[in-house]
Amino acid sequence: MLNITVPSPVINENELARYRISSMEVFRFDCRFLHNQLPPWNAGAYDCGLLKISSDGLSGWGEYISPCSKESVDLVRWASVFAKLKGLSVAEAIRCAEATNEAWGLVRTRLAESALLDLAFKIRYPFTVHKDIASSLGYARLLDRSQAYFSF
């Protein structure tokens, strides 16, 4: 997997209230793109990808890997649950993701929480913002390697 950490910022409601989710992107990859993270004979049995959640020029990233399922075949349908986060403040979106575990399932809930906490960390500590994944991999390469892409 890509080297993404899940930060644990102290969430200050007032600080995060002015930051609203403006856009989201989901990238799905062939798991072999992850170089040696899965045995090659099992790579096709998994879906792998990234979720990018943006607000005010900052982006939080989350990554996922999950067994292939009928539900995950259609990326737009699979990712459409995240649409309810758009327009919410970051704090509201974190609460929403925590409250939807049963409806969204563990993979999507943890994916949203990971991306939102990464975004909250970057908002709280802007001096620690490093190159994001798209910059380090090259956005064109990221899109080129994607089997499916959804932006909303």
Residue 82, pLDDT above cutoff 70: yes
Q: Which tokens in the block code for residue 144? A: 């080129």
Please tell me whether residue 18 adopts helix, strand or coil conformation. coil
**What interhelical angle do 90-99 and 106-124 show, nearest 10?**
160
Q: Is residue 125 part of a domain?
A: yes
Cite the beta strand spans of the chain per DSSP E: 23-29, 46-55, 58-67, 146-151
H and E: helices and strands count for the chain = 7, 4
**120 in any annotated domain:** yes
The answer to whether residue 7 is domain-embedded is no
Percent of the chain with pLDDT over 90: 51
> Does residue 99 lie in a domain region?
yes
Residues pairing with 65 in the sheet: 48
Total domains in the chain come to 1
In a domain, 10, yes or no: no
2 belongs to a structural domain:
no
Give residue 18's pLDDT band: very low, low, confident or very high (50, 70, 90). very high
Q: Is residue 117 part of a domain?
A: yes
pLDDT digit string (tens) for 40-57?
A: 556 567 788 999 999 999
In three-state secondary structure terms, 89 is strand
Range of the domain at 62: 15-151
Q: What is the pTM of this model?
A: 0.82
Here the tokens at position 83 are 């649409």
CATH code, domain carrying 102: 3.30.390.10
19: in domain: yes
Tens digit of each residue's pLDDT (9 = 90 or more) over 126-147: 877 666 665 666 778 888 888 8
- Report the chain's mean pLDDT, rounded to a whole number: 83
